[in-house]
Structure 1
């Protein structure tokens, strides 16, 4: 094997070794905790991201969730509520106003519950995949 063939293999190996596990990070994001340590809070209000983790010092200013959490929330709530509405309507035939009221409250409540958790998941995924400044060479990240 020549030296030029060995270099790409070494680069692939080092990239694979330096990957951060996504599933534990996503679980921490679901709990709205820091994806690196799992202890510091990710959000300081309903949807505002902290500038850094209070526990490990991870710089969170690079997090760019944009419209991803809203899209995921709508996708999940819609895929749960639409079939449920169909089943409820054809099984019990409730009054339209009752059905409207119950499903409106259900959609709003589940959306409010899921939105910050989806934001945590999106930010944790970005951290796990080293996206948007969460890369290895970031001097603001302590402990790397």
Structure 2
């Protein structure tokens, strides 16, 4: 990542991550579409090539959404005992919607935290 000579006020990584905004200026958009990143910020020109969220957002989404959906399925089954088609009709779309929204939010937050903490891939220094 290139060093930047311009000064920008610090932004909250959680707020800009949830809104999908640039982690440096908080103005430009981070995403081009649902989950793909833009090449750079339109407002401040920050190059997003440093951003590598990897599998972190997917792991968080699987754990959080899985906990919510499976807990809801079990609660519904124990209290009302509906047929299986009711579970599919209710929790299929809920799982998809929650997963896509959560994945975008988690990816934005992790990229903003990566920028704020100047995180990069670990390298071994050999003498």
* Range of TM-score over shorter length: 0.7 to 0.9
How many equivalent residue pairs? Answer: 113
Query: In structure 1, what is the Cα distance between the partners aligned to 2:101 and 2:35?
Result: 12
Counterpart selection for 1:96 from 68, 81, 84: 84
- TM-score normalised according to structure 2 size: 0.81
Counterpart selection for 1:65 from 50, 53, 69: 53
- TM-score normalised according to structure 1 size: 0.72
**Residue deviations 1:27-46 (CA, integer Å, cap 9, x gap):** 10111111111110001122
Query: In structure 1, what is the Cα distance between the partners aligned to 2:120 and 2:38?
Result: 16
Tell me what 2:41 maps to.
53
Alignment pair present for 1:32 and 2:20: yes
**Which of the pair has more CA radius of gyration?**
1
Tell me what 2:96 maps to.
108
Tell me what 2:114 maps to.
126
Alignment pair present for 1:79 and 2:67: yes
Query: In structure 1, what is the Cα distance between the partners aligned to 2:120 and 2:22?
Result: 16
Return 5+ residue gaps in structure 1 as ranges: 1-19, 134-144
Q: CA deviation at 1:100?
A: 2.1
Q: CA deviation at 1:82?
A: 1.5
Query: In structure 1, what is the Cα distance between the partners aligned to 2:95 and 2:116?
Result: 30
Residue pair 1:50, 1:61 contacting (<8 A) in 2 also? no
**Residue deviations 1:63-107 (CA, integer Å, cap 9, x gap):** 001111111111110111111111111111111111122111111
Return 5+ residue gaps in structure 2 as ranges: 1-8, 122-127
